[in-house]
Structure 1
Amino acid sequence: MPSISRRSSEMPLSPIRKLVPLADAAEERGVKIYHLNIGQPDIPTPQVAIDAIKNIDRKVLEYTNSAGTLEYRQKLVEYYNRFGINLNKEDILVTTGGSEAFNFAFLCCFSYGEEVIIPEPFYANYSSFANAVGIKIKPISSSFEDDFSLPSAKEFEKLITPNTKGIFICNPNNPTGYLYTEEELNDLKDLVKKHDLFLLSDEVYREFCYDDNKHFSALSLKGIEDNVVIIDSVSKRYSECGLRIGALISRNNQVINAAVKFAQARLSPPLIGQIAACASIDATPAYAESVYNEYIQRRNMLVEGLNKIPGVKSLLPKGAFYTMVKLPVKDAEDFCSWILSDFEYEGQTVMMAPGSGFYNSPNRGHDEVRIAYVLNIEDLKKALVVLEKALAIYPGRI
C-alpha cells in the first residue's frame, strides 16, 4: 500500500475538534453536552438572510465570478465604509469561508520555508494553514499574567530574520478575547514598515468589542497600505457559520491578483452563501444591538461564575466571545477528555478546548482551556455547575 504524504502526516489535529469522538460516545450514552469548545453561536441568523434564501428566484444556481459576485463586493465596500474604511470592490476577494481566506493569504504572501510571527496563544487552525503551504510559524508569547496584551515591537524585532516575511494578528483575539489598541497597532506599523513585512490581520470579530472599547482595523494604518492583508467572515458577525462566506481584503493589487489565480482554480465561492451574506449587511441596527447586548450578559455572567469556582481563573475579555481559563489541574487536555468519557452530573457534561492546542511553543497552556460563551445564559449557568462538580472530584486536580 502506498504511503500518504508527509504533509498530511504532519498536519495537526484540531484541538477544538479532536475530542469529538469522546463527545459522540457520551451523547450515545444519553449524556447532554454543553458545547463550549467551538465558536458556533446559538444566536439567530438575521431574518433578512433567511428570507433571501427562501425567496431565491433562479432557474439555475450558477458559478459566480471567482472573486465573488459584483453585488456582494459592492455591498462589502458599503459595509467597511461604515467603519471609516474606504475600499474599492477590486480590493475584495470573496472566499469560501474565512478558512479559504487564510489559505489564500498564506499562499500569496509567503514562499515555502518563509516565516510568519504570530502572538500566542492563537487560533489553532493557523498552524494547519501554515503547515499545508509549507511556511514556518515563529510564536511570540503573550501571557495570562499580562492580560494577553500584544508584546512590544522590540520583542517582535528580536524574532525577525532574513526569512521573516510577515506578522499575523487576530483582533479582537481568538482565543484570548484581547483587543489590540490603536497605539499597539501603530507600534507594529513602524516595525512592518522598517522591515517591509506583510501585516495580516484576522478581524472576523470586529463587532464584538466591549466596555466602550473600539475596534481599530489594520486597514486604518497610514503608510503601509500595501503591506496590510485582512481576513474577514460572516460566520460570527451574523451567526452564519454554515454559509461558508469569507473575504480576503487588501489594497495591494498584487496580492489580490495573485489570490484570484487560486480562486479561479477552485472556480467560485458559494452562490447561495453570497446571496444570504449580501442581504445580511442590511440587517437592522436593532439586530446588531441585541446580539451585542446578549454577548455582554453572557460574558459577565460566565467570567464571574468561573472566578467563583475554587482554583479557577478567567480574565474579562475585551472582545470576541472566548476566554482562556486557568484550571487547577495538571493536564487540561486530560481533564477535557475525562469530563467527556468518565464524568456526568445529572446526565450532563461540558466540552471545552484544551489550551495547549492554541500554543506553538511546547509546554504552554497545559493548565488552560478555551471556553466559548456561545450558549444562552441558562445553559452557561448549568455548564458552570457541571464544571465545578467535575473539578471537585477530578483525580488530576492540583
Structure 2
Amino acid sequence: MNLSNRAKQAPASPIRRLIPFAEEAAKRGKKIYYLNIGQPDIPTPPVYFQYAEMYKPKVVAYTHSAGLLELREAFVTYYKNFELQLSPSEIIVTNGGSEAVLFAMAVVADPDDEILVLEPFYANYAGFAAQLGIKLVPVRTYPENGYVVPEKEAFLEKIGPRTKAVIFSNPCNPTGAVYDYQQLETIANVALEKNLFVISDEVYREFTFDGYKAISMMTFDKILDRTIVVDSISKRYSACGARIGTFVTKNKELYQAGLKLAQARLCPSMTSQYATIGLLTLGDDYTEQIRKEYQQRRDAVYEELKKIDQAVFKKPHGAFYVSVKLPIDSSENFVKFMLSEFDVDGKTTMVSPLDGFYVTPGAGLNEIRIAYVLNQDSLRDAVKILAQGLKAYVEKR
C-alpha cells in the first residue's frame, strides 16, 4: 500500500521537526531556552476563563459554521479600532488562523495553480499549499536590507498563466519586517494589474515598534473586492491553544465559498468562542502593555545579537521574531549541535532553522529565526549562549 503523493510531499514543520533533539537534551538534564516557536509565556488574560465559565452551557453544542453571531459582532467592534468597517456577514470564525489560511488558499486556487509568496514566509503556508496541491512561487526578500518588499518587477517576472494570488504576513513572521504603505501599494498594484487575489495575514498587527504601524490590505479600496484578511487571537492574547481565528472578506462570492468549507468542518469550539468574546472586551491598555513588553524583549535580543561577529540582520519593527544570517553551513545542523553537543553550565538554546521558511532550493541554509517569547533576562542569557555555541560550531567545522 502506498501513501498519497500529498502525504509524501507535505513538508515537516521547521519549527517542530527538531523537537526530538530537544527532548533528548532535556532527558540528559540540559535546560533549554526555547526560542524556536512563537508560544508566548505571558499568561492568558483571566477574562478568557471568566467568559468560558459565564457561558457554560448544559450541552456543548454545534454553533453556526461562520461562528457565534455574538463573537462576529465583537470582532466587528474590534476591527473598527483599526478603521476597518465590517459586518458579521463578512467574517467567518475559524479554528485558528491556520484554518483561515487554508480556507483562503482553497477558495482562490485549484490544484496545480500557483500563489506568489513573499519569502521567507510563515512555514505552514508550504504545508497548506501541499495539502491543496497548490504551488508556492517565491518572491525573495533579503536580510541585508531588512527583508523589504521588492520592486514590482520582482513580482511580474514570477507571474504565469496559473498564478491566482499573492500571500504574505504583515508584520512578518519570520522576519519581523513591517511593510509601509509604499511597499503594500506595490503588492496592490500587482494584484490589480494581473487580476490576482490578495491573502493578507495580519495576525501580529498589534505588535509594532519604533513608531511603525501595521497597515491592513483592506484599506486599499482598489483591491477590496479581491482581498482576504486572515487573523488569529493566538498571539495578541497569548491564547494559542484556544484555536480561534478569522477569515475576513468583503467579496460575497469569496465569503460564500469560504462558508461552504466552514460548513464541511461544522464549527469552531463553542467554549473557545464564548471565551474569546471576553478577550475582545480588553482595550488599548492591555494591548499597549503587551506591545511594550515585546518591544523591550526585542531590544534585549537586538542588543545581544549586535555583539555577534558576522551576524547579518536589521532591527525588526514588528511581530516577535528576528531572522539572522550567520556564518554557518547549515542552520539545521547548527540547531542540532546546540542541542546535542553544546551547553553553558548545563544550558543551551533552541532556535528555528530558516530553510523551512523558503521554497527556493538552498535558501535559508545559513539563517535562523529567533522568537523572543521569554522574559528579558532569559533572552539575554539565551542569545549569549547562542553566540558561544556559534563560535564553537564554526571552530569545529
Q: How would you bin the TM-score normalised by the shorter chain?
A: over 0.9
Tell me the equivalent position of 2:270.
Answer: 271
SS in 2 for 1:223: helix
For residue 114 of structure 2, what is the amino acid of its counterpart? E
* Deviation (angstroms), 1:368: 0.8
What TM-score results when the alignment is normalised by the length of structure 1?
A: 0.97
Q: Are the aligned partners of 2:145 and 2:314 in contact in 1 as well (CA < 8 Å)?
A: no
Q: Secondary structure at the match of 1:308?
A: coil
Structure 1 CA distance for aligned equivalents of residues 283 and 185 of structure 2:
33
Correspondence 1:72 to 2:76: no
Shift of residue 397 of structure 1?
6.2
Q: Give the aligned partner of residue 40 of structure 2.
A: 41
Q: How high is the TM-score relative to the length of structure 2?
A: 0.97
Q: Deviations over 1:104-152 (max 9, x none)?
A: 1111111111111111111111011001101111101111112100011
Contact 1:335 1:396 in 2 (8 A): no
Secondary structure of the 1:313 match is coil
1:9 aligns with 2:8: yes
Q: Give runs of aligned pairs for residues 113-124 of structure 1, distance below 5 A.
A: 113-124=112-123
SS class of match (1:282): coil
Stretches of structure 2 lacking an aligned partner (at least 5 in a row) = none
Structure 1 residue 90: deviation in Å?
0.8
Structure 1 window deviating more from structure 2 (31-40 vs 322-331): it is 322-331
Task: Give the Cα separation in 1 of the matches to 2:2 and 2:186.
Answer: 47
Structure 1 position 70, deviation (Å): 0.2
Provide the secondary structure at the position in 2 that maps to 1:314.
coil
Provide the rounded CA distance (Å) in 2 between the counterparts of 1:375 and 1:205.
17
SS at the partner of 1:254?
A: helix
Counterpart residue number, 1:199: 198
| Mapped contact 1:11–1:131 kept (Cα < 8 A) | yes
Deviation of 1:396 (Å): 6.2
Q: CA deviation at 1:392?
A: 2.4
Name the counterpart of 1:106. Answer: 105
The 5-angstrom pairing of residues 1-398 of structure 1 reads 2-394=1-393
Q: Which amino acid aligns with 2:317?
A: K
Q: Which moved more, 1:328-337 or 1:368-377?
A: 328-337
Instruction: Report how far residue 395 of structure 1 moved.
Output: 5.1
- Shift of residue 187 of structure 1? 2.3
2:329 counterpart SS class: coil
Residues 26-57 of structure 1: CA deviation (Å, up to 9, x unaligned)? 11111111110000011122221122123333
Once superposed, what is the RMSD of the aligned Cα atoms?
1.3
| 1:194/1:58 CA distance change after superposition, 3 Å | same
Identity score, percent: 42
In structure 2, relative to structure 1, the CA distance for the partners of 1:87 and 1:314 (3 Å cut) is same
Distance 1:331 1:396, change over 3 A: farther
Given that residues 303 and 314 in structure 1 are in contact (C-alpha distance below 8 angstroms), is that contact kept between their aligned partners in structure 2? no
Distance (whole Å) between structure 2 residues aligned to residue 224 and residue 367 of structure 1:
37
1:214 shift after superposition = 1.4
Do the aligned partners of 1:331 and 1:396 also contact (CA within 8 Å) in 2? no
Letter in 2 for 1:84: E
- Separation of aligned partners in 1, 2:312 and 2:110: 41
For each residue in 1:182-214, what CA deviation from the matched residue of structure 2 results, as whole angstroms up to 9, or x when unmatched? Answer: 122222222211221101100000001111111
- Once the two structures are superposed, residues 59-91 of structure 1 have per-residue CA deviations (whole angstroms, 9 ceiling, x without a partner) of 111111011000000110111111111011111
Q: Mean alpha-carbon deviation: is it higher for 269-278 or for 243-252? A: 269-278
> Runs (4+) of structure 1 moved beyond 4 Å?
395-398
How much has 1:320 moved relative to structure 2?
Answer: 0.5
Greater displacement, 76-85 / 328-337: 328-337
The answer (yes or no) to whether the contact 2:146–2:313 under 8 Å persists in 1 is no
